[in-house]
Structure 1
């Protein structure tokens, strides 16, 4: 358990390092294209770099919150794996977006899917914790929507 908590803490640090890297890329693009702050318009490559950095920064608090809630209440190993995949997809998103606007789409969908998965894990863990469901009733609760539609 301690090693998985360390992994989640390292993901927070990796995330902050990525955000720092993204911010540095904006600074380099400002210098390259001579765009002084607070201006956010200019060369298309600068605008893509700026938007990619802003988008990644906007979603980081959501990611960290879901990572920790899912890790505490669901399962640390599954959550850690999702967190690493999310960070990798955001790096690919940033790299793709800075090259061309269409380059962001695949990693964007992957990172969105991972955030939804983390949300589902967090909610499942919270429900299990606060409702104190036994494993058999937990399985029944998860299978209930499928039983309504005749799929179970």
Structure 2
């Protein structure tokens, strides 16, 4: 369980790769030439999935590693897997129908909030106790 955060980090990189691939594929399919970031609704959805996932990842990864390094390695990995599942659900739902993306977003957010709580407790405990 102590290496689970590392696996979650690799899965996050693969998730980002997948969203990048989806945008490239949508660009090609719908003739959206770079640097355009809008055009066809399917491309727009793929682009938003990529950007939203990237934005979430910026908050997720540091929180994952803070929680893991300050006493919650196993639980951080589990919460990280919850985040991954939520983000994949979010991405697939958003690509099909943006109105159905909310459950995946909520699951991912719950995983991240658990990590944030663990990180705060872990860092706070070290700062208070020394």
| TM-score category, normalised to shorter length | over 0.9
Measured in 1, the distance between the counterparts of 2:110 and 2:6 equals 22
Measured in 2, the distance between the counterparts of 1:57 and 1:127 equals 28
1:29 partnered with 2:41: no
- What is the RMSD of the two structures over their aligned residues, measured on CA atoms? 1.3
Equivalent position of 2:118 in the other structure: 121
Residues 13-28 of structure 1: pairs in structure 2 closer than 5 A: 13-28=10-25
1:9 partnered with 2:6: yes
5+ residue gaps in structure 2?
Answer: none
5+ residue gaps in structure 1?
Answer: 134-152
Among 97, 115, 139, the residue aligned to 2:94: 97
Q: Following TM superposition, where does structure 1 have runs of at least 4 consecutive aligned residues deviating by more than 4 angstroms?
A: none
Equivalent position of 1:40 in the other structure: 37
Equivalent position of 1:78 in the other structure: 75
Residue 64 (structure 1) shift: 0.6
TM-score by length of 2: 0.94
Residue 113 (structure 1) shift: 2.0
- Does the 8 A contact of 2:83 with 2:110 survive in 1? no
Residue 89 (structure 1) shift: 0.8
Higher relative contact order (CA 8 A, sep 6+): 2
